[in-house]
Structure 1
Amino acid sequence: MAHTIKEKQQLLARLRRIRGQIEAIEHALEEERGCEVIMQQIASVRGAIAGFMAEVVEDHVRTHLVDTTSFPKALNQEATEQLIAVIRTYLK
């Protein structure tokens, strides 16, 4: 996946932030924080993972599926944006 190599530093930085969020959940459990705090942190991690997945999928679509230079019969720009919007909505 060439696009993941090109965006490697951004993707790694995002994963490191997610790792920090997961570590915060671990600390909250160790400190016996309330369920509501832990559930909020879990929801934040879930959203961060979904956003990460959406970014990788969007880059994949743009790079491998709809690049009209490489694939002359690829989806047009409007169809591409519609597909990406559906993917982002699904991953929320």
Structure 2
Amino acid sequence: MKRDGKSKSPLTNRVNRIVGQVQGIGRMIEEDRECPEVLNTISAVHSALRALEAKLLEDHVRHCVCDAAADPKQLETRLEEMITLYRRRLS
């Protein structure tokens, strides 16, 4: 999917925020911060990654899968991608 600047910006902002959180975890460990504080930050990173994943999945369904609906072969390929992603998520 080709994204324009308007749709890329929120995604890259999320990624940059996640990167900052992960770097913060490294600093927290270096500073010998309390384990619960570090674990809370790790939990926040997990949540942020899940939110990013959900947004990308939504974009994929709304654009790539819907666009493929006109071509049965392409639609089958996109649906197989979705099934693979779903199965991978469960394992």
Q: Do the two structures share a fold, i.e. TM-score over 0.5?
A: yes
The structure where helix makes up a greater share of residues is 2
Q: Identity of paired residues, percent?
A: 34
AA at the equivalent of 2:69: F
Rounded to whole Å, the distance in 2 between the matches of 1:29 and 1:16 is 20
Q: TM-score, normalised by structure 2?
A: 0.68
Tell me, yes or no, if structure 1 residue 27 matches structure 2 residue 27.
Answer: yes
- What is the CA distance between 1:42 and its match in structure 2? 0.3
1:50-65 mapped onto 2 (5 Å cutoff): 50-65=50-65
Shift of residue 5 of structure 1?
6.4
Could you say which residue in structure 2 is the equivalent of 1:79? none
Uncovered stretches (5+) of structure 1, i.e. residues with no partner: 74-86
1:11-36, Cα deviation, whole Å (9 max, x unpaired): 11111111111111011101000110
Give the number of equivalent residue pairs.
Answer: 75
| Contact 1:3 1:63 (C-alpha < 8 Å) held by counterparts | no
Q: Which runs of 5+ in 2 are unaligned?
A: 72-85
